[in-house]
Amino acid sequence: MSDFVSEFWNLYVVVIVLVSILACAALLFIQSKATFTQGKTMGHVWDETLEEYNNALPKWWSWMFYITVIFALVYLVLYPGLGKFQGILGWSSAGQHQAEVAKADAQVKPLFDKYMKMDVKAVAADKQAMEMGKRLYMTYCMQCHGADARGSKGFPNLTDNDWLYGGEPEKIEETIAGGRMGVMPPHAQLGADTIKDVANFVRSLSGLAHDSVRAAKGKETFTSAGCIGCHGPEGTGLQAVGAPNLTDKTWLYGSSENTIIETVTKGRQNQMPAWKEFLGDGKVHVLAAYVYSLGQGAK
């Protein structure tokens, strides 16, 4: 890949572009100096009566080509097109996008400033704010959490009342703004048989079918292997580090014995991206209110 960022490719693009345009100009010039015999055929006939004549191009047609060549050269002086040369106007698609975003942000800033003065719960009760929040959600969040916000394997359901880091309005806003990095370390060193014991114990915590003998052994390992450090001695989890509650009926990856064994053996790593820098405080605040409103029916 390093070859594609070398100076050679900059020169390659410049040469290809200029040679192509100048070659078109040269061809037009040569054609203008050629001798044509108006009305004389070239001896080529198709479909019995379709003949090729030795006629010059119409002047208006030739001038259209000349204008195209001139336009291309002027464009390359003003705008990017010749390798790394950005054009004397300094235009870029990224710059235009930023200008358009800044213009749009300036138009809606007073509205977001209004909501920034309200707490999340108050914003969640505002119909207009929730319409805005829904549009933000459908643009930036539905790809992971789903259009109905019920999540999928590895992505939390936002409509229930189960929260890895806490469902208080401030916590939701903190999660959206700063993102989260959830890590379940792998424990393959425990061995397959011991991990199966732990899986049965974990299933027993939420009342799922399990092998009681293995679950008893797994309980000892759950304590000795340090699982209680994150999930607590009762398996109820620890929101401070995003460790899930193992005693409820909510499972991010599934509750089958094989899935739990896979989780314990290989570990899990999930990232919720931070949106503060991209969206700004106002949009994050409204979006947090919308997410908060999604779970209110589950309470």
At 1, the pLDDT band (50, 70, 90 cuts) reads very low
At 267, the pLDDT band (50, 70, 90 cuts) reads very high
Query: Domain limits at 149?
Result: 101-179+273-298
Tell me if 93 is assigned to some domain. Answer: no
* pLDDT of the residue at 198: 97
Instruction: Mark whether 109 and 250 lie in a shared domain.
Output: no
* pLDDT of the residue at 44: 84
pLDDT digit string, tens, across residues 137-185 = 999 999 999 999 999 999 999 999 899 999 999 999 999 999 999 999 9
Region 213-222: what's the mean pLDDT? 97
Region 189-193: what's the mean pLDDT? 97
Q: Of the candidates 251, 262, 59, which has an alpha carbon nearest to the alpha carbon of residue 155? A: 251
* pLDDT of the residue at 3: 60
121 pLDDT above the threshold of 70:
yes
Burial class of residue 207 (count of CB atoms within 10 Å of its CB; 0-12, 13-18, 19+): exposed
pLDDT exceeding 90 applies to what percent of the chain? 75
pLDDT digit string, tens, across residues 59-76 = 898 899 999 999 999 999
0.85 exceeded by pTM: no
The C-alpha atoms of residue 55 and residue 44 are separated, in whole angstroms, by 14
Instruction: Mark whether 127 and 157 lie in a shared domain.
Output: yes
The C-alpha atoms of residue 143 and residue 124 are separated, in whole angstroms, by 22
pLDDT digit string, tens, across residues 8-55 = 888 999 999 999 999 999 998 888 888 877 778 888 888 888 888 888
Instruction: Mark whether 163 and 277 lie in a shared domain.
Output: yes
CATH number for 257: 1.10.760.10
Tell me if 107 is assigned to some domain. Answer: yes
Tell me if 91 is assigned to some domain. Answer: no
> Does residue 269 contact residue 182 with C-beta atoms inside 8 Å?
yes
